[in-house]
Structure 1
Amino acid sequence: MAAPAPAPGTPPPFAQLIKDTKKTDGFFAAWQKDDKLWLEIQPEDFDRPFFLSPKLAGGIGEAGLTGGLMAYGVPRLVMLRRLNNLVQLVALNDDQVARAGTPEARAVEAATSVSLLGAMPVASQPHPIRKSVLVEANGLFIGEMLGLGASLQRSYRQGYQLDGRNSALTQVRGKPDLLVVEANLHYYAQQIQVLLPGMPVSGPGPSTPDFVPDPRSLFLKVHYSLMRLPKDLMVRRAADPRIGHFTQSVDDYSDDLSRTPRLRYINRWRLEKQDPQAALSPPVKPITYWLDRNVPLKYRDTIRDAVLEWNKAFERIGFQDAIVVRQQEDDADFDTLDADVASIRWMSSHAPGFGAIGPTHVDPRSGEILDADIGIESLSARSWRYVRSRLLPSDAMRAAAESGLPAPDAAALALGDAAALQAQAARDQARSAAWARLMQIGAPASLAGARGAALSAIACQQADLAAEQLGYAITLAAPAGELDPDSPQAEAFVQQYLRETVMHEVGHTLGLRHNFRASAAVPDAQVVDPAFSQAQAHVGSVMDYAAINLPSPGRPAPRPFIGTLGPYDYWAIEYAYRPLAADEEATALKAIAARSAEPGLAYGTDEDNLLGLDPESLQFDLGADPLAFAQRRFAIAADAFARQARRELPPDQDYAILRRSLDYALRDAGRAAGVLLRQIGGLRTLRDFPGSGRDPMQPVPAAQQRAALDLVLRTVLHPDAFEISPALQRRLAPDYQARGEQPGRVGTEYSVAAQLRDMQAAVLDRLMGDALSARLLDNLGRLDEPARGLAPAEVAARLQSAIWPELAADPVGGRSVAIGLDRRELQRGHVARLALLVQRPALLSRADTRAAVRGQAQALAARLEAAARVAGRDATTRAHLRDCAETLRAALRAQLQRA
């Protein structure tokens, strides 16, 4: 007898719907027929948390959309709940909690909300035995759960939309605790917007992807893993600010006795000894990294060894082979993107993006790391053959064009017109912004009138920036005949770079944050010692962005990249993974963290570098003496300039290598200048707790600040600091092939003078900015003897003396004292900034600074007028001095803008 037909409006029977379908067993059973996918949901599956791990399986190789990346910003603890004939997938709010069954828990429930990620209709009647129902899943996975359409719109300013009709589910796989669904999503834009000449520009204009056949259409493949959560929660381990671990944060309202409800606990893998009593025991379940089958054969051994280097830290705390590495076979039936597989993958990008990355997915309830996927960009390994980044002049020109600022009228500027002065300063700022970022000294906010800056998302750029330094090192070696870029020695050099990069990213996947203070942990004599750097880490931690270890001219070469773990790495692993009894853990962790004042264990991370004044929490410095480091890098750059001038190129090589080499050297010198500038007004911010014997806030000694200032003045702000011969400048041809691939991004000209002016402008912005003045004044208040400290007036006086040495010179023997072109450009920049600060005192936050600036302008104007009257001056110098004096006088006469 046939089953009765369902009542109108009710779903069909379970058996009817699954007829002729293909079943995939997994965490959820999946039933598939043609382009339809149904998930079988058991009654016990509702209202039960599980783990959602979305990843980008296929991208476009640009705009951050690279195949193999974990998805960020997507809630990963989710739950299914049923509302009549609708099943909702909701992201759980795990940030606010309270002990279950308490009045506080009811209050938290009333004050929080889940988020809807998608909804699916109930597609069948309950199974007659299992009582499960089928839900249609196409709309869930072919949708905007990850917001990829919005990401495309932000990146290109085009109207990209998801095209569901041409999107499809391409793969469904299952394991007992996992279900994998892959979707190939089509995005399109009906029409491409272009920026026409004359259109107003208020921000970045529309652009298009460079590497798709038709920019109106592209596909993105998304890999979804739905995974069962661990049955037993891993025991949380409290975070400590003295050591850098990634953390989970939760507001626990169960107890109102603590100062704050916020609890922080670290991210770590679940690692337990097989034999808890043994001094050295294998783990119950090792941390296993799979090398994806797409990793090139020649790099696999280096990557494997770099991963296993971390076992040294685990052996010290009793784990034997805590980490293992396995190779995915070519015919393996799993994907290393699966949420239960930690992996290392090779990525092909069309333009440099991140170099390498080490993200994780974590159970927010306990901090247990469940998954990690390290990605290595192929360009990072071949960067010594290709240009890693766009040239700064084109960056500066593009920034100036996007700012929409017109060139100021010369007459208005001479009259001290406030708007013109502001435009001039803003234009200078646009040109020097790239140098400011490069030098790690921040944007010159005071001259732009800004009072704050937004903190962007922190991402690991260690491999990307280290790869540029790799290119610089090989460039330095090649002209001297020491290293051919195509030689086996060069390949070995790249392998060393790759080893450091992989060690760094593995550290991230073990739960460790950046440690930018570690590069200052080792004395300079040991840093540059070849024997020491080969045997030990020449920094305190591989989690730093350490500058490549280059030899001084004529000195033997130390190991360029970090080859092993530093003392901080052992310490951080001990805190996170040492097995501790529950009743002893709190005391033991405090004892471990209390070692923070020991040599080699200093810690400072991204916030310390971006938001603080700490002269040690820097990127791409090296050694305990910042002045010695900067002097060494300046000498290396000067030697590089001289050798490039003598360099004979073979007839089968174009001139572009000279421009790249010069650019590398200038960039490195700029970073060295940034290290010096962080010393001036610097404040060491130590993470010590009471009892270490050190004050946590320590101004940089005044002698060190003055020495750093003097070195900047006699190098970066000296016209002869970087001598680049005219003959070399005539040979700085562009890479014509790169120009064809990146039209408008590689200019024909390469103005060495403009490069140096932009670097000098960044230094001027820093030294004349309100931020530095305020920091210097604040530091004086921290000194027992303020009179011995470095004050803003002294900085201003030293700066003016360095920029205007000609004011102290008189004609000798009737000969004129001329001021050269480069010096005039620098002096003009100094005057323009000083005049702007006079007219807009609101840019300066301290009353004393405002008064001092006005007095400085009055005194300088008088000296300029006197110098212009001295007999024997040439006409150009006399006109320059008078023009600068009138600019200051006009600013002093003008109505002040106090708002």
Structure 2
Amino acid sequence: MVRKLPVLGLVALLAAGCGSKKSVFDGKQISAENTSKKSKSDFKDYNKVITADATSDEGLFTTHFVDSKLYFEIPLDLLDKDMLLVSRIAQVPDGYGGGYVNAGSKVNEQVVRWTRRKDNIDVKVISFENESDEESPIYKSVRANNYFPILYSSKIKAFNNDSTSVVIEVNDLFENEVQAIDGLPAGLRKRYKVKKLDKSRSYIESAHAYPKNIEVKHVMTYEAQEPPQRNQAGTISMMMNQSMVLLPEEKMQPRIADPRVGWFTIDKYDYNSEELKSDDYEIIRRWKLVPKDIEAYKRGELVEPEKPIVYYLDPATPKKWRPYFKKGIEDWNVAFEKAGFKNAVIAKDPPSKEEDPAFSPEDVRYSVVRYVASTTRNATGPSVSDPRTGEIIESDIIWYHNHLRSYRNRFMIEAGAQTEAARTLNTPEEEIGEMMRMVIAHEVGHALGLPHNMKASSAYPTDSLRSASFTQKYGLTPSIMDYARVNYVAQPGDEGVRYIRMMGPYDLYAINWGYRYLPEAKSPRAEKDTLDKWILAKAGNPWFEFGSGYGGVDPQSQRESLGDDQVKASEYGLANLKRVVPNLVKWTSKDGYAYDDLEEVYRELTYMWRGYVSHVVANIGGVYETKKTSNQDGVVYENVPKEKQKEAMDFLISEAFTTPEWLLDQGILNRIEASGAIERVQGLQTRALKSLLNKDRLKRLIANEEANGKKAYTAVNMLSELRRGIFSELYRNRKVDAYRRNLQRSYVDIASSYLKQLRQDNSDDELLKSDIMPLMRGEMQTLKRELNRRKSNTNDALTRYHWNDLIARIDAGLDVDA
């Protein structure tokens, strides 16, 4: 195989580094590295640096603590080896990042090499994003224009007794602000008005060495004017965890990604491409699985991998939940059997000290499902991968204890109308255990390389989710990587349906595509024809389509949505919510306790309503996306049909923009708050209105009309129907209640905000030149005429004042006095 040169990128233009005595264009270089004239005797004696008081830990490097100083003893044969430096936040202050940054969050991942430069050891950042064959003429140019920056440098303090290792002090790497491993990004620095790092309160907490990795925890304390939670210390302290992992000497053959099958990927740029530019492509992230018996594998037999994927349970995992965790891990074996492997994924209990005295979750040789005693309501499935090849080296699934609470609440809210098991705060173990199992399976899916597939949930006919035989066989979606946690479509009387998600046919398909071993293909390019054939064989079947759910354009690719008809699914979901609300006091009350649980569940129920509404809003100006390549028939993008958009608007008028009397249950509200219901409904409805009147949605409606004429649901159609629905009292000569007054004010304020941009210096120039401005001006002028013509028809004084107030708001938006 031709060796390729890894290169960095334009960041190297800013980097200072060790030079050479000749240009790279001058042929053979005389490097400034390794040219020290000092002998070993010129350095300090090893025993004077690493004293008898040192606390040492042997591993990849040997770490030594001498008082407060940390030394790395680096074997010379590990210099210039590729290592992955992964920076994570180990502990964060309460409220940090608005509560969205959790312990365990990864902040950076980069390849480094420890190299010697005279009497120094440098840490260089290496990138494998750009590449070129060494034999190619362009190789020298790529190298010269992609120089590796130096992250850190330290003087050599000593050599060990047999001169096979160097000793350096590394305190400055972990106790100073080094941006590449820092956990405080620029945005949060600005939010919290961070001044500087306080070195007197920043220190190294621990350092541990393992055979293939080094783990260092260090505390960083920053002076901040406005720290999270307004703490009295005026500082932000966080604990960082730096993991340095030795990358494999033998590289796995990469697999080239395809956007039609969802995978986490790594970008590559090949400057040896025959195209008239660099060849931009991606490789997938996956574990290295090689059959023990390749000939048997070729014959179609199931074969065990040489090295299976093994997950250990955290010793802190409660014993009652361990069986569910293990099932969730090993559920993936069904998918790997499609790829020709048996026993590919193995779950193990944590070993005892007698069984494995060296076991540690920090050791990169062990992948662990960690059970974290935390109020965080989440679970994550991160992994560490080799950027050279995409090979996943290790992963730690993180389960936060209070995530149980999320699923308990969701089960009650979305299935309480249909099944008795959901009508309690103490969800039966069988149901909550099954939910935990599927959460773990979902997170393991991420750790195997699979991203979210939000399009999967639109593959099944909505009414099929009311069928026991269908849901028990196929689950709620074709992929467990979708967010489709509870079957809210099922209705009371739908006996035997499945309520909890499960693995589906897409998952088996994706694992086969990414993991099937192709022994005859000797390069990534040689695999492409086979991989393409597998995709084309499933083309046109929505069960095997992929969509990330990002962008908000495709209504068939949304979080928490179910079924192929979002309007029908949301109607079913709302019908169930309306049945649940009258029972919440009974289902959440505990003798001797206040109504905290009732308040929490009720609040989350309102979020469900908001979610069902947003699923429908996405159809307005929506565009279906079906990922295709140029050898496939049909287009990639199609506008949502006019009839479907009209149906969606009818739903929004009747459910989103009509006062939800069913939600305003006084039996609940009088137990949880003195006031706030009006504002809560206003917030929910305003959110839906803002989404509906979003400028990008309006632009898509305008573009659709231009392309499809009378076949299109136009922006004028939408705005006219919206106005008549929101101001129905005006057109029917009726009194307007407080909820509707708030909604109508929100509509006028949102529409007027577009027109006010005409008078702002920092306005969006593209918006000002679009048809959105005349549309909004026309709607405001039409509404003003209707208000002036009809306002005197009401006998209700407050309604009349309200109409006059709206006219004043419209005038302010139109700037009639200018």
On whether the aligned pair clears a TM of 0.5, the verdict is yes
Secondary structure of the residue aligned to 1:72 is strand
What residue number does 1:800 align with?
A: 723
Q: Distance in 2 between matches of 1:137 and 1:828?
A: 61
Code of the aligned partner of 1:831: V
Q: Is the 8 A contact 1:69 1:373 kept in 2?
A: no
1:365-380 paired onto structure 2 within 5 Å: 365-380=388-403
What residue number does 2:691 align with?
A: 766
Code of the aligned partner of 1:372: S
What residue number does 1:575 align with?
A: 513
**Which residue, out of 686, 689, 702, partners 1:777?**
702
Q: Distance in 2 between matches of 1:544 and 1:8?
A: 60
**Which residue, out of 28, 32, 37, partners 2:61?**
28
Secondary structure of the residue aligned to 2:444 is helix
What residue number does 1:614 align with?
A: 554
Q: Is the 8 A contact 1:186 1:218 kept in 2?
A: yes
1:501-516 paired onto structure 2 within 5 Å: 501-516=439-454
What residue number does 1:342 align with?
A: 367
**Which residue, out of 362, 365, 377, partners 2:385?**
362
Q: Distance in 1 between matches of 2:446 and 2:588?
A: 44
Secondary structure of the residue aligned to 2:168 is strand
Code of the aligned partner of 2:80: D
Q: Is the 8 A contact 1:615 1:682 kept in 2?
A: yes
Asked whether 1:89 is paired with 2:123, we answer yes
How has the CA–CA distance of structure 1 residues 14 and 878 changed in structure 2, closer, same or farther, with 3 Å as cutoff? Answer: closer
Code of the aligned partner of 1:257: E
Secondary structure of the residue aligned to 1:831 is helix
How has the CA–CA distance of structure 1 residues 325 and 209 changed in structure 2, closer, same or farther, with 3 Å as cutoff? Answer: farther
Q: TM-score, normalised by structure 2?
A: 0.84
Code of the aligned partner of 2:339: I
What residue number does 2:664 align with?
A: 724
How has the CA–CA distance of structure 1 residues 809 and 221 changed in structure 2, closer, same or farther, with 3 Å as cutoff? Answer: closer
Q: Is the 8 A contact 1:269 1:510 kept in 2?
A: yes
**Which residue, out of 736, 755, 773, partners 2:680?**
755
How has the CA–CA distance of structure 1 residues 713 and 57 changed in structure 2, closer, same or farther, with 3 Å as cutoff? Answer: closer
What residue number does 2:257 align with?
A: 239
What residue number does 2:410 align with?
A: 469
What residue number does 2:280 align with?
A: 262
CA-to-aligned-CA distance 1:75-119 (integer Å, 9 cap, x gap) = 1x2111222211111211322221125432211221123233322
**Which residue, out of 87, 103, 111, partners 2:145?**
111
In structure 1, runs of 5+ residues without a counterpart are: 1-5, 194-204, 384-465, 734-748, 811-816
Asked whether 1:12 is paired with 2:44, we answer yes
Q: Distance in 1 between matches of 2:40 and 2:493?
A: 90
Measure how far apart 1:859 and its partner are: 3.0
Code of the aligned partner of 1:249: D
In structure 2, runs of 5+ residues without a counterpart are: 1-37
How has the CA–CA distance of structure 1 residues 73 and 219 changed in structure 2, closer, same or farther, with 3 Å as cutoff? Answer: closer
Code of the aligned partner of 2:364: A
CA-to-aligned-CA distance 1:376-425 (integer Å, 9 cap, x gap) = 11111234xxxxxxxxxxxxxxxxxxxxxxxxxxxxxxxxxxxxxxxxxx
1:442-841 paired onto structure 2 within 5 Å: 469-470=410-411, 472-473=413-414, 483-486=423-426, 489-550=427-488, 551-553=490-492, 555-556=494-495, 558-563=497-502, 565-580=503-518, 581-582=520-521, 585-594=527-536, 595-605=538-548, 609-644=549-584, 649=589, 651-719=591-659, 722=662, 724-733=664-673, 749-783=674-708, 786-809=709-732, 817-838=734-755, 840=757
Measure how far apart 1:143 and its partner are: 4.8
Secondary structure of the residue aligned to 1:222 is strand
Q: Distance in 1 between matches of 2:144 and 2:700?
A: 46
Measure how far apart 1:284 and its partner are: 0.6
Code of the aligned partner of 1:167: Y
Measure how far apart 1:586 and its partner are: 2.1
Asked whether 1:285 is paired with 2:210, we answer no
Q: Is the 8 A contact 2:79 2:114 kept in 1?
A: yes
Q: Distance in 2 between matches of 1:821 and 1:57?
A: 48
Q: Is the 8 A contact 1:251 1:262 kept in 2?
A: yes
Percent sequence identity over aligned pairs: 23
What residue number does 1:873 align with?
A: 795
Measure how far apart 1:832 and its partner are: 3.4
Measure how far apart 1:330 and its partner are: 4.5
Q: Distance in 1 between matches of 2:539 and 2:370?
A: 35
Secondary structure of the residue aligned to 1:255 is coil
Asked whether 1:122 is paired with 2:156, we answer yes
Q: Distance in 2 between matches of 1:834 and 1:38?
A: 63
Q: Distance in 1 between matches of 2:171 and 2:688?
A: 56
How has the CA–CA distance of structure 1 residues 474 and 604 changed in structure 2, closer, same or farther, with 3 Å as cutoff? Answer: closer
Please, which moves more after superposition, 86-95 or 58-67? 58-67
Please, which moves more after superposition, 143-152 or 674-683? 143-152
Q: Distance in 1 between matches of 2:740 and 2:657?
A: 9
Measure how far apart 1:167 and its partner are: 2.9
Q: Distance in 2 between matches of 1:214 and 1:350?
A: 24
How has the CA–CA distance of structure 1 residues 662 and 222 changed in structure 2, closer, same or farther, with 3 Å as cutoff? Answer: closer
Q: Distance in 1 between matches of 2:508 and 2:205?
A: 45
Asked whether 1:161 is paired with 2:101, we answer no
Q: Distance in 1 between matches of 2:691 and 2:651?
A: 15
Q: Distance in 2 between matches of 1:215 and 1:603?
A: 47
1:2-81 paired onto structure 2 within 5 Å: 10-14=42-46, 17=49, 20=52, 24-30=57-63, 33-55=66-88, 63=96, 69=104, 71-75=106-110, 77-81=111-115
Q: Distance in 1 between matches of 2:230 and 2:358?
A: 33
Q: TM-score, normalised by structure 1?
A: 0.77
Asked whether 1:313 is paired with 2:255, we answer no
Secondary structure of the residue aligned to 1:103 is coil
1:169-318 paired onto structure 2 within 5 Å: 170-175=206-211, 178-185=212-219, 187=221, 189=223, 193=225, 205-208=226-229, 220=239, 222=241, 224-227=243-246, 229-257=247-275, 259-278=277-296, 279-318=301-340
CA-to-aligned-CA distance 1:636-692 (integer Å, 9 cap, x gap) = 222223334787955423233333333222211110110110001100111022454
Q: Distance in 2 between matches of 1:568 and 1:53?
A: 31
Measure how far apart 1:221 and its partner are: 6.0
How has the CA–CA distance of structure 1 residues 474 and 660 changed in structure 2, closer, same or farther, with 3 Å as cutoff? Answer: farther
Secondary structure of the residue aligned to 2:121 is strand
Code of the aligned partner of 1:233: K
CA-to-aligned-CA distance 1:23-56 (integer Å, 9 cap, x gap) = 6543334556555554444444333323334555
1:342-421 paired onto structure 2 within 5 Å: 342-352=367-377, 355-383=378-406
CA-to-aligned-CA distance 1:853-882 (integer Å, 9 cap, x gap) = 333333332222221233x62333333333
How has the CA–CA distance of structure 1 residues 356 and 61 changed in structure 2, closer, same or farther, with 3 Å as cutoff? Answer: farther
What residue number does 2:167 align with?
A: 134
Q: Distance in 2 between matches of 1:481 and 1:507?
A: 28
Q: Distance in 2 between matches of 1:772 and 1:679?
A: 10
CA-to-aligned-CA distance 1:612-646 (integer Å, 9 cap, x gap) = 51111100101111111110111122222333478
CA-to-aligned-CA distance 1:523-567 (integer Å, 9 cap, x gap) = 22221223432333220111111152134355447322213x211
CA-to-aligned-CA distance 1:150-203 (integer Å, 9 cap, x gap) = 68856754557354687346343342xx253434436364xx74xxxxxxxxxx
Q: Distance in 2 between matches of 1:716 and 1:790?
A: 20
Q: Distance in 2 between matches of 1:883 and 1:41?
A: 75
Please, which moves more after superposition, 634-643 or 269-278? 634-643
Please, which moves more after superposition, 367-376 or 130-139? 130-139
Code of the aligned partner of 1:752: A
Code of the aligned partner of 1:775: R
